[in-house]
Structure 1
Amino acid sequence: MNRGAREEERTGFQEGSGYGPKYDLQTDFVMVYGINESMPERIRQWKEYGYRVHLMTGVSWGGYQDYLNGKFDGRSHWDEAQKYKSGEYIIHGTSVDIPYMVPTVAYSQFLIDRIRPAVDAGVDAIHLEEPEFWVEGGYSEAFKREWQNHYNEPWIAPHESEDAQYRASKLKAYLYTRCLDRLCSALKEYSMVRYNRPIRFFVPTHSLINYTQWRIVSPESKLLDVPSINGYIAQIWTGTSRTANVYEGKRAERTFETAYLEYGMMQELVRGTGRRMWFLHDPIEDDPKRTWKDYQENYFKTLTASLLHPEVSHYEVAPWPKRVFEGLYPREDRNGKEGIPADYATVLLTVMHTLGNMDQPDVKVFGNETKVGVLLADSAMYQRMRPGVDTAGFMLKYDGTNEVELTDEYALELLNFSSFYGLTLPLIKHGLPVRPVQLDNVRRFPGYLEDYRLLILSYEFMKPEFPDLHNALAQWVRDGGALIYVGDDSDPYHKVKEWWNQGKRVYPSPREHLFECLGLAVNSQEGLTPVGKGWVNFLRVRPDRLAESAESAERLRAAVRETMAALNVGEMRWNPTNHFMMKRGPYVIASVMNESVHERPLELEGCFVDLLRPRLPIVRQVAVQPGNQVLLYDLEYTEEAGSGIVAASSRIENFIEDSSSIEFLAKGPIQLNAVARIRCSALPARIIMHADGIEIPLSIDWDEQTRTLLLQYEHRSGGIRITIIKGGTRQ
């Protein structure tokens, strides 16, 4: 647990305020948020306290009134604000002067000019947050101009047809890709020419799953084609993952399962690309009306969901820690508000510092190891409107911060995103590890599908943007893969003017072109068919139907079992279970689901430290009930034997041990309770804690059987120097 140099950038947070000792989380880096006049001073402050400093700013919205009102270049730019069909501006949050923007060339230049001072101030990286264009937008004058320039024809209102909506959405994704390319390339060149210093760019973005569900268009995988972008932050938290979906006919929040899919989507987005991915966690969420109990329960769900994806080991541990550790939220009895409970604060700090140690090469999956991929493409965002049905009234600002009254039956069905969840939840709920796989990457990276033997695909809610995707998929099947195709060709978006129906060979749906590439008849019957060394299983049903009942969910599960059996690969096994469990080095991560094969708890035996409890207790029997999660440290893990920090709610620096003593510095937010569990060869003879040269009191608890020492203390400014004088050494 002794933290190395901050250059590793394993953990970080974003904060719009200057340095504050009460939310000084002691991560590796901080993202100073916003490009106003105070930016250089805020950067200086955080640097002074030892942080690697990045800049973060919104790329689709922000406090950009100088640009909108003409102060920047003498011209008003309100014509570039995103608009609904009604002519109303699409506003971020509740500030009437902060609209979502159409990313024109002029707007890109404004952002370049405003961000350049951050390069001058010496930031190590820049994060351009949330490139978002709402599905309901596309009616501003700037967008009409961009349409004409891009398509070389007069603008067509997006609501007029599926084709107009699809083309409008493709243009929206292109515009933000262009904007980010211009921004990152120009500022990288500026940094090298002016300072001979490379600078990195990252895009904090929601998952493709959430953007599609919330009906937002964003570049997502297209940013992999922009060489000046170094990676992403996966902005996944309770606010996205608690969005309700339908399983076996019941609409409900399923925070763990949804987060598991969302984090999986982002892991697969960058898998094998060399691009950096940080996973975001949020100890609260944007909705300020919930209680601390609600925040904590859902935080544990998203946390464990993220840790079950071991190919990512970098984390944004909190956005806006000031609102976490200084904010007030409703009491359980709704009688007033209260600050963060002391125990939750301690647990949060413990988890945040544990995350910095998650780069563990030794990973073991318990239970089902067979991964099933469900293909998802950027184009899923392009067809989230049904022409002829007015949805603007109920979807004005569904961004996690506004309560939206969903009374229209069609509106509710659209937000459920059942076409995707119908293909995934029936498998996840029975313990099968499902990974959403980025379809667009199949043509970008040779061998992208090699980790998979079974994939599920439907074109009833998305489309393949390029025909050569089918050549790659067909070859993968012939080489021994198994593809389950789900769809009945009823989606009206099959008729958009795209490659499958515009050439000499016209296909009513892209599914027919895929089947032709596979050597199958376009009018194939349902069922299992061998193709080369592999198999294709065709379910002629709309995927959203698979979410409607227990019987339809079982239909998908039966198809998966049948396809696994046909592959006849020994390691492909699926034993239905109600939990996921994994070890990453000494860390045990588990989540038990309800609505599953049974309601029995997951029972574990061993010698563990419970990292989700404030006093880091040692537990030997753990029963994880359905709906709950655990994060444990295995004290019997052989690679971690000997002395050292087991867990701490502080940043541990300058750890030195010799035959007579252990000494280290513990740092964290002031006035918050901290704990540290430490391995010692025997009960210490004496423990000394100093802050600013003054000895301070502490509480200790010695566990003879595990030879671990629990220290409890309060963080102080500048950190606490802890010295443990060893006693006699036991053999």
Structure 2
Amino acid sequence: MPKQSLILIVLIICSFSVFAQKKLKDKTSFQISDPWNAAYDIRSDIAMVYGVNDAGGHFEERVQGWRDKGYNVQFMTGSAWGQYKDYFLGKFDGKKHFDEGQQMKNGDIIWHGENVPYVVPTENYLKYLKTHIKRAIDAGVTAIYLEEPEFWARSGYSPAFKKEWKAYYGTNWRPEDASPEATYLASKLKYHLYYRALNELFAYAKSYSKSKGHEVKCFVPTHSLINYSSWQIVSPEASLASLKDMDGYIAQVWTGTAREPVFYNGLKKERVFENAFLEYGSMVSMTAPTKRKLYFLTDPIEDRARTWDDYKRNYQATFTAELMYPSVDNYEVMPWPQRIYLGKFKMDDSPEKQPISPIYATQMQVMINALNFMPLSKNELNGSQGIGVLIGNSMMFQRFPTHDGYKDPQLSNFYGMAMPLLKKGIPVQTVHMENLKYDNTLKNIKVLVMSYANMKPMSEEVHVALAKWVRKGGVLIYYGRDNDPFQNVKEWWNSDGKSYTAASQDLFNKLQVNYIASRDEYKVGRGAVFIIREDPKEIVMNKEGDTAYFTNVKYAYEHSAKAGNLLTKNNFLIQRGPYIIASVLDESTNSAPLIIHKNVIDLFNPELPILHEKIIEPGHQAFLYDLEKIKSSRPHVLAAASRVYQEQIDNKAHSYSFITKSPSNTIDVMRIELPTKPKKVSTTLNNKNLQLLKNVWDEASHTLLLKFENHSEGVLVNICW
């Protein structure tokens, strides 16, 4: 048989073997550019192998290496940037393409790395990316992730962008700093370009994978609308859900996004838990009505160099925030595990860089392993439900540059509506105006707060939906002076027969409300509208500026919406199966700790202690395993800094055994439920005994605490009682 034919048969057999795995797990994932390594073999379901050219290339070998270790292997690469030097330096088609870099007014390109600019996604660039997608599908990946479709608000000056302007608008390019209208139009074009790009790339991925006998899933890992608006980046965000070939999102929220300082009570500072809570919430709002799959990401460290102490503190805050959305149970547990396990950073009390401490590594592994078992839940976060804040993609369009003295420091026109409620323990939701076309979007909202100070409605249908909802009993609170320069950009509310000087005028007209300066509330059908002539930023940028705001929301909730008493508190608490998740707020209604009177395992403590009560102080969070939720006495690992495989229970022999895997050179700790105190416990690796660092029985809870060294190839644990 010819050698070429033999190779073809082998490839076909290998391909069939890959695609025949119809039920690969996909609950948890991580993204990784490097080849498999025992030092960061974290045992989530999915390994998203990053970049065809990353880590020195060898893409197929990297894919196969992770697949050989039992992972569901998928592919991630940047949509706006990546290791694409071959394209920009002319190796792809013989032409250099730096004219397609995102360029600022001074002529500088915004770079993501050496010879890697942020990109204006031209048709030629998309042709190049298709070669990467094809190669990934040929390697047998089960999904494609095109991450971060990002266009910087300050970068609308490149030759490629000018050409796209002419093609899209049919007019000569206008510099985005020339007028508010030019700014708005430039942002709309940037928004369109990445919508078009992902539409074309995902259609190709679906078509090509089907031709190969299997259909890949297509996802967009993206920052939240809140963060992109704050960081002055334009992206398609909610509109991507209308793409028929897109299967879902990864909500890229982590310390780096959540630590962006915001104003509250006149003070600008980091509020990581609160910010993360709002960011994750905006992603839920964006996807829930569309039924797209959603992964939540958080990162045990972050892109910027900080200290291990800082990373740990803020990781706990963002991790807690993501678990407070019980409708989501898929997680990217970390990006770049090689950076976490092999990187070196300082400690708060030491300038010398050092690797991750065994204690933090163990705690982190307990946390990410718990995500493999985190259930969906119908439980709601404690507190008064049904208050929402309206947001929309056009929040990204007014951020840069500023005009006529208009400023919105730290996105305060959004935070002014959300932060005062959140700080009083009210689980405020965000509502995407792009989703108002779906019937269920406002189903559970009693009071909706909105403003056009920092965004504008992109279609008249937004007002049609809002008016319909109010007439059926909804209560709308509108905040805004309506005097910002973006009110006058040429848009649907002031063209084609309409001549409103502010976007809200069309809404009030549809509600048949005639604004009177001395009057706040207007009855509309079974609902009501409040009009407050104040920009939301004034609520948080001024000390005690939220007093009147909260009074208005309370009245609207209790009297106009008749939704019951608006409860205030200083904490958030939810239970998901056996897991209790809690956060206690500072700058809140009081400074009292939250005390949980239950027998629990403290999952933020790497020793996994059993507590009879947990005290949580303001500014802190808790992640607990509720021992009262254990319903049987069968042997079972309740919590561990590793993932358990091949469990075997022999009731006649009174034995329980399993193999447990986690990154090598880390310490495993696990608490195991058993019928009675064990007589013998052994841990072995390749038939050689491993030292037990801890072997402690707790009679009250019938749990065994073990500690030993982790090995990625698997430690055999055998327990007899």
Q: How far did residue 364 of structure 1 move?
A: 4.7
CA gap 1:232/1:430 in 2 versus in 1, 3 angstroms? same
Q: How far did residue 229 of structure 1 move?
A: 1.1
CA gap 1:492/1:126 in 2 versus in 1, 3 angstroms? same
* Match of residue 472 from structure 1: 465
* Match of residue 98 from structure 1: 116
Unaligned regions of 5+ residues in structure 1, if any?
Answer: 390-409, 727-731
| Partner SS state of residue 598, structure 2 | strand
* Match of residue 79 from structure 1: 99
Structure 2 residue identity aligned to 1:707? H
* Match of residue 282 from structure 1: 299
Hey, what's the Cα distance between the residues in 1 that align with 2:206 and 2:350?
50
Q: 1:559 aligns with which of 552, 555, 565?
A: 552
* Match of residue 448 from structure 1: 441
Q: How far did residue 662 of structure 1 move?
A: 1.2
CA gap 1:414/1:99 in 2 versus in 1, 3 angstroms? farther
Q: How far did residue 179 of structure 1 move?
A: 0.6
Q: What is the CA deviation profile of residues 658-704 of structure 1, one whole-angstrom value per residue up to 9, with x for unaligned ones?
A: 31211111111011001111111100121122211222221211100
* Match of residue 399 from structure 2: 384
Answer yes or no: is 1:111 the counterpart of 2:129. Answer: yes
Q: 2:456 aligns with which of 431, 454, 463?
A: 463
Hey, what's the Cα distance between the residues in 2 that align with 1:574 and 1:223?
35
| Partner SS state of residue 613, structure 2 | strand
8 Å contact from structure 2 (residues 40, 663) kept in 1: yes
Q: 1:153 aligns with which of 171, 176, 179?
A: 171
Equivalent residues in 2 for 1:499-510, closer than 5 Å = 499-510=492-503
Structure 2 residue identity aligned to 1:708? T
8 Å contact from structure 1 (residues 362, 585) kept in 2: no
Q: 1:695 aligns with which of 682, 689, 707?
A: 689
Hey, what's the Cα distance between the residues in 1 that align with 2:605 and 2:519?
51
* Match of residue 141 from structure 1: 159
Moved more, 599-608 or 548-557: 548-557
Structure 2 residue identity aligned to 1:548? M
Q: 1:711 aligns with which of 706, 715, 721?
A: 706
Q: How far did residue 420 of structure 1 move?
A: 0.6
Q: 1:636 aligns with which of 628, 646, 649?
A: 628
Equivalent residues in 2 for 1:246-261, closer than 5 Å = 246-261=263-278
* Match of residue 121 from structure 1: 139
Hey, what's the Cα distance between the residues in 2 that align with 1:505 and 1:285?
48
Q: What is the CA deviation profile of residues 291-338 of structure 1, one whole-angstrom value per residue up to 9, with x for unaligned ones?
A: 111100000000001111111111111111111111110132343111
* Match of residue 205 from structure 2: 187
Answer yes or no: is 1:519 the counterpart of 2:512. Answer: yes
Q: How far did residue 371 of structure 1 move?
A: 3.1
| Partner SS state of residue 432, structure 1 | coil
Q: 2:73 aligns with which of 53, 59, 62?
A: 53
Q: How far did residue 386 of structure 1 move?
A: 3.8
Equivalent residues in 2 for 1:161-200, closer than 5 Å = 161-193=179-211, 195-200=212-217
Q: How far did residue 79 of structure 1 move?
A: 1.0
Equivalent residues in 2 for 1:604-623, closer than 5 Å = 604-623=596-615
CA gap 1:55/1:220 in 2 versus in 1, 3 angstroms? same
8 Å contact from structure 1 (residues 526, 540) kept in 2: no
Hey, what's the Cα distance between the residues in 1 that align with 2:646 and 2:493?
62
| Partner SS state of residue 251, structure 1 | strand
Answer yes or no: is 1:590 the counterpart of 2:607. Answer: no
* Match of residue 415 from structure 2: 421
8 Å contact from structure 1 (residues 6, 52) kept in 2: no
Structure 1 residue identity aligned to 2:570? N
Equivalent residues in 2 for 1:343-492, closer than 5 Å = 343-361=359-377, 363-366=379-382, 368-387=383-402, 414-443=408-437, 445-492=438-485
* Match of residue 214 from structure 1: 231
Q: What is the CA deviation profile of residues 123-162 of structure 1, one whole-angstrom value per residue up to 9, with x for unaligned ones?
A: 0111111000000011001100100000011111111011
Answer yes or no: is 1:671 the counterpart of 2:665. Answer: yes
Hey, what's the Cα distance between the residues in 1 that align with 2:187 and 2:492?
17
Hey, what's the Cα distance between the residues in 2 that align with 1:324 and 1:159?
41
Q: What is the CA deviation profile of residues 18-40 of structure 1, one whole-angstrom value per residue up to 9, with x for unaligned ones?
A: 00100000000111111113111
Moved more, 212-221 or 641-650: 641-650
Q: 1:28 aligns with which of 36, 45, 48?
A: 45
* Match of residue 320 from structure 1: 336
Q: What is the CA deviation profile of residues 438-469 of structure 1, one whole-angstrom value per residue up to 9, with x for unaligned ones?
A: 111112x2232112111111011001100011
Answer yes or no: is 1:227 the counterpart of 2:244. Answer: yes
Q: How far did residue 573 of structure 1 move?
A: 3.0
Q: 2:35 aligns with which of 13, 18, 21?
A: 18
| Partner SS state of residue 612, structure 2 | strand
Q: TM-score, normalised by structure 2?
A: 0.94
Hey, what's the Cα distance between the residues in 2 that align with 1:255 and 1:331?
20
Answer yes or no: is 1:545 the counterpart of 2:561. Answer: no
8 Å contact from structure 1 (residues 525, 538) kept in 2: no
Hey, what's the Cα distance between the residues in 2 that align with 1:279 and 1:639?
29
Hey, what's the Cα distance between the residues in 2 that align with 1:467 and 1:311?
31
Hey, what's the Cα distance between the residues in 2 that align with 1:576 and 1:419?
23
8 Å contact from structure 1 (residues 371, 432) kept in 2: no
8 Å contact from structure 2 (residues 154, 401) kept in 1: no
CA gap 1:320/1:5 in 2 versus in 1, 3 angstroms? farther
Structure 2 residue identity aligned to 1:47? R
8 Å contact from structure 1 (residues 487, 543) kept in 2: yes
8 Å contact from structure 1 (residues 160, 388) kept in 2: no
Moved more, 272-281 or 236-245: 272-281
Identity of aligned residues (%): 40
Hey, what's the Cα distance between the residues in 1 that align with 2:266 and 2:502?
28
Answer yes or no: is 1:498 the counterpart of 2:491. Answer: yes
| Partner SS state of residue 606, structure 1 | coil
Hey, what's the Cα distance between the residues in 2 that align with 1:272 and 1:618?
40
